[in-house]
């Protein structure tokens, strides 16, 4: 049979059934006739421009029907298509266009003007052709099936792109084999999830079109969202799934999480390739989708999509991985040694691919082509994959990973995939990847990145309630330790700021900043005119002492007995008799059997173990208000700024040697390890509609001039309980900051407006926030910072844009006798804020601005949207302990990873493969520095404490505590553990100032105890 060109497979179906649907996407569908006509119009355009055989034409556009027209038109005109990723930086796109000698680019109207094209580039917008009425006749070029069909650029191990050249003859062989083998026909529909620059997309488009079926194309956003996949999957009756394993796993996770019933679906074939298939994935498929034919495919981009396959049946308990399978039609696989000799079963060698699918080589790169495409005297042209494998007794090949995935640890050769297999066997693991970190001393360390199954772990033996209790106890122990270790002189006891440690340098926050913080909080609460107050979590009395002086009755609770005893001593000395103290945790306030007009929870919510716990405290707080009143929740940590907060901490430190990606990975890992409750301000809006007693809510940025974490990343929330607010009868002057310009708001104009129209409300929207200037841009625009000078680029960005400190508006309000309500912009909460100013009358302040702020109700979101999970870091430690014990039962000690890094999810490339290059950074050089083993009993015990606290398996007695992840909170936990184990009370300040490693700490302990025992 004559070999056809790739596009001729489609044209043949057009002749057979022109009115069948070829493409379906949002709001559109195209028949084979329509698709053929549009692609021929495009081909005619290209031919008029003088396109020649093997000329590359770039396709740069979002997912959509236009991509199919583009590639078909290019092929019909005799060229080869070059798919480029729109998400790439402009610099990379320009580089690839130049390397590829591209003269013509196909794109969309909306993209054409957003990119700067290399000089001389002809740009055609494919979506402009839809209504074209030009002739459909196409002049045929003289060509051969050995001509190029497409070139796909992949990143090599050096990071330099390499363009894989695939001919019509090669790719048609793969497409027809799959279609014949699995009887693909005109009734089939495929969900095209892969990006055009990933070779799975070649089959998505041409595989089904070659059989007369339908390509169902989600748009770019839908292609990332399993919710949308499911809707399309059911609505369009998709029959074929073709993706990397991770996307199928994500799809199944969504189905399972939502409890969806998918018994009546049309899916009949699942094609999985491009990455390891976890052994637990096929059983999950069968459990949730039924007994669908599931096929593992492998090979390389350099061998025309796929070259080997295995139909997955029952999973053998002996398997370490799914068998790679046997070579496909007209293709061959060989296991060869270094001398290129064929290896018998079961010897391990490198895998080589031969046959009709092998690529022509790399575009204009002879050196790499000659290195990877060899001529074998017996087997002909072969592609050297860089993968390891061996023959199984049944003739299938077993894939053993990349050549560079095999390393020597402690003199033993270790297979990474074997370790991953056992981690995945652990009952509380969803996903796992193991990598090798080589430090400067070239000592390889295994690092395991794990996405744990928290739900299954928390269901086990009621672990959830156990960890919630432990979290409360955890903070109680820390606070008691702080109170024990540092109390001020007797004359300063009413302003005791013990425990207020800066996250930036682990030093106490300066007294003057704490005074500002207390004064602004007291002012905000006093404006509510409290008479009868309940403060939940009064701490050392920072708010209690000034507020008790202006209220009739002040009840205060805390879970720290030491703290309450300290406050009671001060009350007795100062003869304050309107304060009552009670030792209890926040959930016991209902037992007080009293009623108040104001309830205060200031800087305590972050120590609650969960959002549910916080909600229960809120409910009890509101119930304790008999009629109308207020609940003031102060100093809340802001979830929508959590990334920015950790980003600012890392930028404050010496990170000059970090690349942007390393910095971002470290930031995201810090976010994941945060063990305080962090709440999104939108939670309160949702809560208001669920508790009918809440008439209004007010979200307020902190008032203060100092640049610290309280002012920049925390907020206050006021709940107005059964308080009808007078309707607005004043004119509202609205000033909108132009988000497209960097010009200043004219502050003089604001002064003038307030002086001229004192009875009006003044509203300013979307003011750029100086407190978090540029951090959101830095985090969310990775493309702009992909070079060594990324910090310098960021500095220039912040310098060239106008930002305003919210404190300026607090000062303006005070100057003119106004009240300033400053909150985040709903449109740009991580970057901008809104201001409303109303004339302030301390005797009768009507707060009419609250009606202006009253936003329409939004759709409620899941609780995970509103808050993080502060018990997760503690659960992670428990899971890691269990996992290590599990691995030790199944693997030799040298195969146990040195570091276990829990991750929220494994990062994926745009093509759905695990992106090993952007996993969170582990810095072994800090651990390995001056490694000296413990040699006394004291040192051994301290090493155990540090390992537990820091989650590090391999550390020495001279590692610096802060260098390897120690924080002020962990330091306090260490003091608690030292007290328990050695019966020694250490002072927080002396450890912070004098002790940095286990060696010096052990000397101090032994000096106090008077014991030195050799290990």
What's the pLDDT tens digit per position in 441-469?
445 678 899 999 887 787 765 566 666 66
- Is 753 in contact with 811 (CB distance < 8 Å)? no
CA distances to 3, 88, 382, 937 from 642, rounded to whole Å, are 58, 27, 51, 41
Residue 404's closest CA among 666, 158, 161? Answer: 158
Structure confidence at residue 440 (pLDDT): 41
264 pLDDT exceeds 80? Answer: no
Nearest 5 degrees, angle CA 672-CA 676-CA 681? 95
Report the CATH number at residue 439. Answer: 3.30.300.30
3-state secondary structure of 393: coil
Name the DSSP letter for residue 203. Answer: I
Which residue has tokens 């008790």?
Answer: 548
44 assigned to some structural domain: yes
Structure confidence at residue 749 (pLDDT): 79
Structure confidence at residue 158 (pLDDT): 47
252 and 125 in one domain? yes
618 pLDDT exceeds 90? Answer: yes
Cα distance between residue 940 and residue 942, in whole Å = 5
Nearest 5 degrees, angle CA 607-CA 609-CA 610? 120
Cα distance between residue 630 and residue 621, in whole Å = 9
422 and 302 in one domain? no
3-state secondary structure of 386: strand
Residue % of the chain over a pLDDT of 90: 49
Task: For 286, list phi and psi in degrees, rounded to 5.
Answer: -65, -35
What's the pLDDT tens digit per position in 650-693?
898 767 778 888 888 888 888 988 889 999 999 999 999 899 99
User: What does DSSP say about strands 714-721 and 694-701: parallel, antiparallel, or unpaired?
Assistant: antiparallel
3-state secondary structure of 48: helix
Which position has the higher pLDDT, 861 or 265? 265
902 assigned to some structural domain: yes
65 assigned to some structural domain: yes
Mean pLDDT calculated for residue range 300-329: 93
What's the pLDDT tens digit per position in 13-52?
999 999 999 999 988 999 999 999 999 999 999 999 999 9
3-state secondary structure of 501: strand
Residue 109's closest CA among 98, 123, 97? Answer: 123
736 assigned to some structural domain: no
CA distances to 59, 139, 612 from 47, rounded to whole Å, are 17, 8, 65
Spatial neighbors of 965 by CB under 8 A, at least 6 apart, are: 950, 951, 952
pLDDT tier at 480 (50, 70, 90 boundaries)?
Answer: low
Structure confidence at residue 401 (pLDDT): 80
Structure tokens at 887: 């691995």
Cα distance between residue 56 and residue 82, in whole Å = 6
End-of-domain residue from the set 286, 302, 334? 334
Task: For 699, list phi and psi in degrees, rounded to 5.
Answer: -105, 125
pLDDT tier at 493 (50, 70, 90 boundaries)?
Answer: low
What's the pLDDT tens digit per position in 765-790?
889 999 998 899 999 888 788 888 89
Lowest mean pLDDT among 7-21, 240-254, 898-912: 898-912
Structure confidence at residue 958 (pLDDT): 75
Furthest CA-CA distance within the chain? 104
What's the pLDDT tens digit per position in 532-551?
999 999 998 999 999 999 99
Structure confidence at residue 148 (pLDDT): 97
Cα distance between residue 250 and residue 989, in whole Å = 48
Structure tokens at 141: 């070029």
Terminal C-alpha separation, the chain: 79
Mean pLDDT calculated for residue range 190-198: 94
Report the CATH number at residue 994. Answer: 1.10.1200.10
Lowest mean pLDDT among 432-436, 793-797, 1010-1014: 1010-1014
617 pLDDT exceeds 70? Answer: yes
937 and 903 in one domain? no
986 and 904 in one domain? no
Structure tokens at 899: 């570091």
272 pLDDT exceeds 80? Answer: yes
What's the pLDDT tens digit per position in 542-575?
999 999 999 999 999 998 888 898 899 999 999 9
- Is 631 in contact with 817 (CB distance < 8 Å)? no
Structure confidence at residue 856 (pLDDT): 61
Cross-strand pairs, 758: none
CB crowding 871-909: b at 16 or more within 10 Å, else e: bbbbbbbebbeebbebbeeebeeebbbbbbbbbeebbbb
993 pLDDT exceeds 70? Answer: no
Average predicted confidence (pLDDT) for the chain: 86
pLDDT tier at 857 (50, 70, 90 boundaries)?
Answer: low
Give the rounded distance of the alpha carbon of 193 from its chain centre: 20
Structure confidence at residue 31 (pLDDT): 97
237 and 106 in one domain? yes
1009 pLDDT exceeds 80? Answer: no
Among 399-408, 965-974, 995-1004, top mean pLDDT goes to 995-1004
952 and 907 in one domain? no
- Is 229 in contact with 193 (CB distance < 8 Å)? yes
993 and 892 in one domain? no
Element (H, E) at 490: none
Cα distance between residue 68 and residue 473, in whole Å = 60
245 and 110 in one domain? yes
pLDDT tier at 740 (50, 70, 90 boundaries)?
Answer: low
Structure confidence at residue 858 (pLDDT): 67
Give 648-688 as a DSSP string: HHHHHS--TT--HHHHHHHHHHHHHT--S--B-THHHHHHH
Cross-strand pairs, 596: 625
453 and 308 in one domain? no
pLDDT tier at 925 (50, 70, 90 boundaries)?
Answer: very low
Which residue has tokens 């609505």?
Answer: 235
Cross-strand pairs, 374: 382
What's the pLDDT tens digit per position in 78-106?
999 999 998 887 888 998 999 999 999 99
137 assigned to some structural domain: no
3-state secondary structure of 176: helix
Tell me how crowded residue 708 is: count the other CB atoms within 10 A of its CB: 21
pLDDT tier at 995 (50, 70, 90 boundaries)?
Answer: low
256 and 178 in one domain? yes
302 and 234 in one domain? yes
628 assigned to some structural domain: no
481 pLDDT exceeds 70? Answer: no
3-state secondary structure of 413: strand
800 pLDDT exceeds 60? Answer: yes
213 pLDDT exceeds 80? Answer: yes
669 assigned to some structural domain: no
What's the pLDDT tens digit per position in 940-952?
888 888 887 776 6
3-state secondary structure of 446: strand
Cα distance between residue 815 and residue 450, in whole Å = 55
Which position has the higher pLDDT, 495 or 612? 612
Structure confidence at residue 404 (pLDDT): 65
Structure confidence at residue 750 (pLDDT): 84
Structure confidence at residue 463 (pLDDT): 60
- What pTM did the predictor assign? 0.68
Lowest mean pLDDT among 13-17, 69-73, 430-434, 961-965: 961-965
pLDDT tier at 955 (50, 70, 90 boundaries)?
Answer: confident
Please confirm whether the linkage preceding 346 is cis (ω < 30° from 0). Answer: yes
Structure confidence at residue 913 (pLDDT): 75
Q: How many alpha carbons fall within 13 Å on the CB side of residue 386? A: 11
pLDDT tier at 76 (50, 70, 90 boundaries)?
Answer: very high
CA distances to 560, 678, 870 from 674, rounded to whole Å, are 23, 9, 7
Structure confidence at residue 273 (pLDDT): 94
> What HEC string does 60-109 produce?
CCCCCHHHHHHHHHHHHCCCEEEECCCCCCHHHHHHHHHHCCCCEEEECH
Give me the helix-helix angle, 65-76 and 32-48, nearest 10°: 50
931 pLDDT exceeds 80? Answer: no
Cα distance between residue 889 and residue 895, in whole Å = 12
Nearest 5 degrees, angle CA 123-CA 125-CA 126? 130
977 and 895 in one domain? no
Q: Which domain holds residue 458?
A: 418-479+872-914
Q: How many domains does the chain have?
A: 3
What's the pLDDT tens digit per position in 124-148?
999 888 777 655 556 656 589 999 9
Give the rounded distance of the alpha carbon of 136 from its chain centre: 48
Cα distance between residue 148 and residue 78, in whole Å = 9
Spatial neighbors of 606 by CB under 8 A, at least 6 apart, are: 635, 636, 637, 676, 677, 678, 870
Report the CATH number at residue 61. Answer: 3.40.50.12780
95 assigned to some structural domain: yes
Structure confidence at residue 1015 (pLDDT): 39
CA distances to 225, 758, 903 from 865, rounded to whole Å, are 16, 40, 18
Give the rounded distance of the alpha carbon of 998 from its chain centre: 35
């Amino acid at each position: 049979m004559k070999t056809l060109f790739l596009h001729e497979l489609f044209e043949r179906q057009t002749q057979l059934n022109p009115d069948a649907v070829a493409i379906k996407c949002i709001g559109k569908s195209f028949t084979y006739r329509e698709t053929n006509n549009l692609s021929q119009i495009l081909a005619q355009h290209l031919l008029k421009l003088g396109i020649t055989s093997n000329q590359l034409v770039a396709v740069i556009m979002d997912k959509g029907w236009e991509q199919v027209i583009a590639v078909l038109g290019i092929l019909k005109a005799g060229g080869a298509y070059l798919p480029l990723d729109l998400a790439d930086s402009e610099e990379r796109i320009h580089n690839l266009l130049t390397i590829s000698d591209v003269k013509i680019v196909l794109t969309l109207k909306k993209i054409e003007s957003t990119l700067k094209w290399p000089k001389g580039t002809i740009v055609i917008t494919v979506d402009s052709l839809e209504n074209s009425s030009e002739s459909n006749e196409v002049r045929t070029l003289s060509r051969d099936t050995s001509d190029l069909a497409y070139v796909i650029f992949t990143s090599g191990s050096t990071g330099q792109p390499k363009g894989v050249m695939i001919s019509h003859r090669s790719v048609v062989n793969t497409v027809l084999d799959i279609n014949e083998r699995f009887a693909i026909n005109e009734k089939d529909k495929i969900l095209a999830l892969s990006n055009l620059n990933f070779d799975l997309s070649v089959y998505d488009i041409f595989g089904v079109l070659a059989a007369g079926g339908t390509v169902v194309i989600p748009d770019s956003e839908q292609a990332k969202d399993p919710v949308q996949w499911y809707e399309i999957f059911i609505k369009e009756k998709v029959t074929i799934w073709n993706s990397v394993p991770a996307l199928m796993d994500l799809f199944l996770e969504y189905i399972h999480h939502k409890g969806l019933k998918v018994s009546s679906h049309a899916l009949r074939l699942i094609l999985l390739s491009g990455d390891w298939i976890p052994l637990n994935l096929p059983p999950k498929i069968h459990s949730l989708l039924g007994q669908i034919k599931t096929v593992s495919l492998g090979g390389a981009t350099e061998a025309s999509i796929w070259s080997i396959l295995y139909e997955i049946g029952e999973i053998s308990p002996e398997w370490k991985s799914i068998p790679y399978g046997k070579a496909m039609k007209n293709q061959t696989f060989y296991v060869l040694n270094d001398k290129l000799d064929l290896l018998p079963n079961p010897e391990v060698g490198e895998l080589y691919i031969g046959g009709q699918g092998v690529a022509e080589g790399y575009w204009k790169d002879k050196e790499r082509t000659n290195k990877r495409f060899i001529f074998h005297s017996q087997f002909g042209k072969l592609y050297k994959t860089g993968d390891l494998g061996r023959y199984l007794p049944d003739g299938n090949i077993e894939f053993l990973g990349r050549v560079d995935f095999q390393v020597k640890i402690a003199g033993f050769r270790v297979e990474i995939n074997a370790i991953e297999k056992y981690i995945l066997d652990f009952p509380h693991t969803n996903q796992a990847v193991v990598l090798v970190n080589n430090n400067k001393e070239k000592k390889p360390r295994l690092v395991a990145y794990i996405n744990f199954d928290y739900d299954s772990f928390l269901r086990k033996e009621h672990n959830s309630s156990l960890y919630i209790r432990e979290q409360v106890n955890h903070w109680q122990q820390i606070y008691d330790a702080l109170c024990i270790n540092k109390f001020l002189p007797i004359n300063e006891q009413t302003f005791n700021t013990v425990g207020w440690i800066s996250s930036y340098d682990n030093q106490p926050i300066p007294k003057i900043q704490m005074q500002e913080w207390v004064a602004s909080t007291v002012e905000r609460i006093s404006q509510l005119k409290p008479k009868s107050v309940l403060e939940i979590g009064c701490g050392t009395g920072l708010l209690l002492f000034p507020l008790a002086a202006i209220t009739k009755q002040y009840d205060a609770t805390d879970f720290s007995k030491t703290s309450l005893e300290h406050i009671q001593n001060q009350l007795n000395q100062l003869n304050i008799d309107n304060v009552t103290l009670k030792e209890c945790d926040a959930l016991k306030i209902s037992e007080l059997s009293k009623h108040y007009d104001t309830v205060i929870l200031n800087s305590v919510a972050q120590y609650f173990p969960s959002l549910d716990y916080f909600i229960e405290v809120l409910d009890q707080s509101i119930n304790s208000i008999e009629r109308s009143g207020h609940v003031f929740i102060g100093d809340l940590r802001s979830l929508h700024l959590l990334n920015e907060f950790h980003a600012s901490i890392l930028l404050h430190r010496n990170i000059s040697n970090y690349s942007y990606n390393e910095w971002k990975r470290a930031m995201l890992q810090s976010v994941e390890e945060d063990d305080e409750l962090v709440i999104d301000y939108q939670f309160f809006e949702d809560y208001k509609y669920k508790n009918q007693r809440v008439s209004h809510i007010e979200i307020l940025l902190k008032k203060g001039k100092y640049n610290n974490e309280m002012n920049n990343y925390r907020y206050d929330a006021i709940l107005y309980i059964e308080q009808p607010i007078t309707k607005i009868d004043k004119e509202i002057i609205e000033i909108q900051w132009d988000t497209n310009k960097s010009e200043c708001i004219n502050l003089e104009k604001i002064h003038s407006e307030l002086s001229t129209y004192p009875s009006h409300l003044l509203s300013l929207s979307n003011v750029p926030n100086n407190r978090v200037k540029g951090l959101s841009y830095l985090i969310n625009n990775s493309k702009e910072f992909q070079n060594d000078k990324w910090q310098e680029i960021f500095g220039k960005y912040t310098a060239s844009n106008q930002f305003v400190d919210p404190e300026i508006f607090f000062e303006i309000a005070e100057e003119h006798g106004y009240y300033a309500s400053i909150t985040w912009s709903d449109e740009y909460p991580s970057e901008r804020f809104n201001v409303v100013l109303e004339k302030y009358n301390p005797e009768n302040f009507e707060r009419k601005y609250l009606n202006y702020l009253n936003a329409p109700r939004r759709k409620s979101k899941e609780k995970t949207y509103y808050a993080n999970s502060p018990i997760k870091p503690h659960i992670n430690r428990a899971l890691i302990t269990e996992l290590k014990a599990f691995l030790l039962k199944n693997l030799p000690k040298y195969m146990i990873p040195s570091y276990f890094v829990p991750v929220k999810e494994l990062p994926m490339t745009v093509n759905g493969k695990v992106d090993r290059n952007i996993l969170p950074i582990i810095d072994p050089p800090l651990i390995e520095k001056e490694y000296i083993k413990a040699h006394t009993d004291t040192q051994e015990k301290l090493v155990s404490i540090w390992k537990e606290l820091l989650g590090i398996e391999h550390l020495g007695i001279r590692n610096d505590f802060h260098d390897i992840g120690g924080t002020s909170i962990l330091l306090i936990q260490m003091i608690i553990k030292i007290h328990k184990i050695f019966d020694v009370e250490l002072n927080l300040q002396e450890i912070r100032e004098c002790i940095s490693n286990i060696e010096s700490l052990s000397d101090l302990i032994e000096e106090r105890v008077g014991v030195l025992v050799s290990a």
